[in-house]
Structures are given as C-alpha cells and as structure tokens.
Amino acid sequence: MDSPSGKLTRKNRIIVGCQWGDEGKGKVVDLLSRDADIVARFQGGNNAGHTVVVGGTKYALRLIPSGILHPGKICVIGNGVVLDPFVFMEELAMLKKSGIGTTDRLFVSAATNLVLPYHCAIDQGEEAERGNGGIGTTGRGIGPAYQDKVRRSGIRLADLFDDGRLKAKLDIHRRTKGRLLDGLPGAPKVDFDKLYTDLISLRDVLRPMMIDVSLMLEEAHKGGAVILFEGAQGGMLDVDLGTYPYCTSSNTTVGGALTGLGVGPNLVDEVVGVVKAYTTRVGAGPFPTELNDRTGEILRDRGGEYGTVTGRPRRTGWLDLVLLRHTCRISGVEKVAITKMDVLDDFAEIKVATGYELDGKVLDNVPVDIARLPDCRPIYRSFEGWKSSTVGITSYTELPQKAREFVGFICRELNVGMLLLSTGPARDQTVMV
C-alpha cells in the first residue's frame, strides 16, 4: 500500500492518460519521478507535450521524459517512440540553457525510428488535401513516420552511424517520397542532400546516448532500480482502441509500454491513469460531452486549455465516465491521479456523464462500433459545486466536502483507488492520497 503520510512506496508504475491526452501527465510523471530511479518514455513523438512547473519556471517537454528535471534521474526514450532528431536537439539546448544537465543520464533506443522533414511535409500536405474532412493532425510527421516503421522502410537511430545504409535508405525515400510530395501541392519542399548532411552533423551528440533500452531496463530492474513508464497522449487516441481514425498512430495504452520499451509485464507493479476533472480534446473527432457554449469557454480559460506544442485552443466538456470506464479497462488502471480540480472551484453546478443514450438504449460503455460515438447523447448526473478555492491544498481532509464527494464518486464508478489529486500546476500543489 502507499504510505498514508503522503510518501509513495517504491513501485514500477506505468502512467497512462485516460482521456484524449492533455490530462496533466507531465506533472504526475514529474511528481512520481521523485520515487523512481529511471523514467522511460514508451510511445508517441513530439506531437504531444508535457508541461511542468518547477520553482515558478515552466518547462514544455515534447520528447524528453519530464523526469529529467530531477537531478540524478536516468531518462530513456524507447523504440516505441518516433524521434524527430532536430526537435530533440532543441530540447537539449533548452535544458542546457536552464542549467539542467543530460550527460550520462539521457539515453535513446538504437531501434527508435526517426521523424524526418519529408514526414512532416507529407503530414501537412495530406491534411491540406483532406480539407474539411481533416483528422486534426498536428503536422509534425508522426503518422507518416509510423507508416514507414510498420512497412519496414523507416530510418532508425542506429542507421545514422552507417554511411552506406543511411545513404541507401535516403535514396529510396528521395524517390518514393518525392513522387508522393509531387502530388501534394500544399506540401513543403524537402532538400534530401541537406538532410543527409544535417543528420551526419548530429552523430557526435547522439552516439553516446544510443543504447539497447530493453537490456538496460532489465538489468536495472534486477539491480533493484525503480522504473516509471511515461506515455504520451491518452487512451481514447490509441490507434486500435481509441476513436479511430481520429486518433494518434501508436498504442497509448498499457500494452504500448511493454512493446515500446521491450520489457515484460513482470516489470510492472502498478498502472496509474491520469484523469482531468473535466474533458478536453484537440483536433477533429467525436466528443459526446463537448460544451460549445459559455461554460465551455470558462473551462478553457480557467484551465489554460491551449496545446503545449501547437497552441491550439482545446475543445472542452464535462467529465465522461463512459470513456473513462473504457480506458481504465483497456489499460488495467488500478489507481487514478485526478488533475485540475481547482478549475471547477467556482462552478455552482458540475456535471458528469454516467451513460449514453443510443438508438433508444442506455449504454454504460462505448458502443461496439466506436464510429457511432457521435450519435451518442450523454446522460448526466449533476453535482452541487463547492464554490470555494482548492488551489494549493495538500491535505485530503482540507478539501471541501462537496469536492471530496465528487472525487469519491469518480473512483467508485471506475472501481479504482486514488493516488493523488492536483490542486494547481506547481509540484507542491498536490494532495497525495
């Protein structure tokens, strides 16, 4: 069990988002990194951002695990991630400027596939071609990079250190991607000769970081190290089990942690799901509890709901327990971390969707055909708001009674325990339950 004093026991934990991303995983990972030795990122790319506030300074990380902000912690990027090496270099420079060292404590799997400029160009060109039927991609090249990975034509980190192999692969992509880009008039141009030179220039920085992540984690586990598994996005964006095709291109659920780092389930002690006290979504796709009214605007403004990477305003709505039942089940969530409780402080009434109505029937779970989600009408339960500030509260007993009733209801409905409750963006604005 976790200590009642608020100090967590040392466990290997997988952290997953339980909505459409942007749940506040960055802060949760940052907090739990204190009790871990290694923080391991297992999927996604720089299309997702984790924002962490430390000592009044805001850090926006896109690829590097937020555990890097803790001195002495080892951080790794697994084979399940698609890595834009140029964005990665920007993050390294940002951390260095902030006085945060990464030497001998940041490593990348040799099998990690790279996101390169032609992936971004294709992503942007194809989204432009879709017009009003776009899927809401960020244009960061993530989908096309995963496509290359799956069809076994991707360029991996290890390929950078073999001239012949790198040139051969780039030549193939010069031809195949060139033909594709010629048919996408809205796509940016790509200079493949410059790309080769730019990639070669990164070797000296990247070579010391390249390791076999799977082997490293196995040996660390045998030596007693505690590992924190960090994911990006959320369960409803999972390519298999989310709102397909309005999803990301990787497995954001617990299975992605195992395949994305090359480890077995014996390394996992606990799965923690991060849940925002309301719901947000970026980009296109179904959103049953969306609020296209003044209430939705208030949630967006008070919650600062703008994308870490894109700056796009997020769509907002009430908490949806139907979606949460789905994501908690598919990831085997045992405890939740509830974030942004303070955003609800001034509401006189707070709603929670407990079911859907579809074709005259009441559903407790998402429809079998998830493409029917736009046809679902949420069934709400209303809660009286607590109408007092929870900002900075660190003790569960100090929370307003109605706030405790609200979070208690969530946990009972999901049949999970609660690990922590966030009452603000800073590290110390947290209730450890």
Q: Which CATH number is 171's domain given?
A: 1.10.300.10
Mean pLDDT of 60-64: 91
In this prediction, residue 363 carries a pLDDT of: 97
Q: Is position 173 annotated as part of the catalytic site?
A: no
Domain span at residue 29 reads: 13-110+212-432
Q: Let me know: does 346 contact 285? Beta carbons within 8 Å.
A: no
Whether 6 is covered by a domain: the verdict is: no
Is the pLDDT score of 82 beyond 80? yes
Whether 404 is covered by a domain: the verdict is: yes
Whether 1 is covered by a domain: the verdict is: no
The one catalytic residue in 2, 50, 148, 238 is 50
What confidence tier does 421 reach under pLDDT thresholds 50, 70, 90? very high
Is the pLDDT score of 5 beyond 60? no
In this prediction, residue 420 carries a pLDDT of: 96
pLDDT in tens, 344-366: 999 999 999 999 999 999 999 99
Number of structural domains in the chain: 2
pLDDT in tens, 262-273: 999 999 999 999
In this prediction, residue 4 carries a pLDDT of: 35
Do residues 400 and 257 share a domain?
yes
Whether 4 is covered by a domain: the verdict is: no
Q: What is the CATH number of the domain that holds 302?
A: 3.40.440.10
Q: Let me know: does 161 contact 204? Beta carbons within 8 Å.
A: no
In this prediction, residue 1 carries a pLDDT of: 32
**Tokens found for residue 432:** 């450890």
Residue where a domain stops, chosen among 208, 234, 267: 208
Mean pLDDT of 91-100: 94
Residue where a domain stops, chosen among 187, 208, 229: 208
**Which one is predicted more confidently, 130 or 164?**
164
Do residues 99 and 118 share a domain?
no
Do residues 249 and 189 share a domain?
no
Q: Let me know: does 403 contact 377? Beta carbons within 8 Å.
A: no
In this prediction, residue 184 carries a pLDDT of: 87
Mean pLDDT of 364-389: 97
Do residues 125 and 187 share a domain?
yes
Do residues 283 and 177 share a domain?
no
Whether 97 is covered by a domain: the verdict is: yes
The one catalytic residue in 2, 22, 37, 123 is 22
Do residues 130 and 237 share a domain?
no
Q: Is position 70 annotated as part of the catalytic site?
A: no
